[in-house]
Amino acid sequence: MSDFDLVIKGGTVVTASDTFRSDIAIKEGEIAALGHNLGSANREIDADGMLVLPGGIDAHCHIEQESSTKLMTADDFYSGSVSAAFGGNTTFIPFAAQHRGQSLRDVVKTAHDRAGPKSVIDFAFHLIISDPTENVLGQELPALIMEGYSSFKVYMTYEMLKIDDHQMLDVLSLARRYGAMTMVHAENNDVINWLSERLVTRGYTAPKYHAVSHNPIAESEASRRAIDLARLADAKLLIVHVSAPEAAHAILNARNQGLPIYGETCPQYLFLTADDLDRDGMEGAKFCCSPPPRDKAGQEAIWRGLTNGTFQVFSSDHAPYRYDETGKFSAGPNPTFKKIANGVPGIETRMPLLFSEGVGKGRLSLNEFVALTSTNAAKIYGLHPRKGAIAIGSDADIAIWDPNWKRTISQSMIHDNMDYTPYEGMEVTGWPRTVINQGRIVIEDETLQVERGSGQFLERKTETPTPAAPSDDAPLGPRYTFGADLM
Figure out which of the listed residues 9, 62, 208, 479 binds ligand URP, where binding follows CB under 6 A.
Answer: 62
How many residues in the shown chain lie near ligand URP by CB under 6 A? Answer: 9
Figure out which of the listed residues 156, 319, 366, 372 binds ligand URP, where binding follows CB under 6 A.
Answer: 319
Minimal distance, residue 174 CB to ligand URP, in Å: 22
Span 220-279, contacts to ligand URP by CB under 6 A: 241
Contacts of 278 (CB under 8 A, 6+ apart): 206, 207, 208, 284
On whether the CB atoms of residues 402 and 48 are closer than 8 A, the answer is no
Which CB sits closer to Zn ion, 26 or 238? 238
Q: Is 146 helix (H, G, I), strand (E, B) or coil?
A: helix
Which CB sits closer to ligand URP, 47 or 341? 341
On whether the CB atoms of residues 212 and 199 are closer than 8 A, the answer is yes
63 binds ligand URP (CB under 6 A): no
Please tell me the distance from the alpha carbon of residue 487 to that of residue 482, in angstroms, as a whole number: 9
Which CB sits closer to ligand URP, 205 or 342? 342
On whether the CB atoms of residues 152 and 141 are closer than 8 A, the answer is yes
Residue 298 phi/psi, 5-degree rounding, is: -65, -40
Please tell me the distance from the alpha carbon of residue 479 to that of residue 476, in angstroms, as a whole number: 8
Choose among ligand URP, Zn ion, none what residue 188 binds, the Cβ cut-off being 5 to 8 Å by kind. Answer: none
| Candidate segments 182-190, 192-200, 273-281, 423-431, binder of Zn ion by CB under 5 A | 182-190
Minimal distance, residue 316 CB to Zn ion, in Å: 9
Q: What DSSP line would sit under 57-89, residue for residue?
A: EEEEE--S-B-TT-PBPS--HHHHHHHHHHTTE
Among candidate residues 114, 292, 120, the one with its CA nearest the CA of residue 214: 292
Inter-CA distances, 370 with 82, 256, 313, 378, Å = 21, 23, 10, 11
Figure out which of the listed residues 9, 185, 224, 440 binds ligand URP, where binding follows CB under 6 A.
Answer: 185
Span 327-356, contacts to ligand URP by CB under 6 A: 342-343
Figure out which of the listed residues 108, 211, 285, 289 binds ligand URP, where binding follows CB under 6 A.
Answer: 289
Figure out which of the listed residues 220, 290, 299, 437 binds ligand URP, where binding follows CB under 6 A.
Answer: 290
Choose among ligand URP, Zn ion, none what residue 342 binds, the Cβ cut-off being 5 to 8 Å by kind. Answer: ligand URP
Figure out which of the listed residues 185, 214, 236, 294 binds Zn ion, where binding follows CB under 5 A.
Answer: 185
Choose among ligand URP, Zn ion, none what residue 260 binds, the Cβ cut-off being 5 to 8 Å by kind. Answer: none
Strands, DSSP E only, in 326-476?
398-408, 427-437, 440-444, 447-448
Which CB sits closer to Zn ion, 216 or 477? 216
Choose among ligand URP, Zn ion, none what residue 294 binds, the Cβ cut-off being 5 to 8 Å by kind. Answer: none
Q: What DSSP line would sit under 31-45, residue for residue?
A: EEEEESS---EEEEE
Minimal distance, residue 158 CB to ligand URP, in Å: 7
Binding site for ligand URP (CB under 6 A): 62, 185, 241, 289-290, 317, 319, 342-343
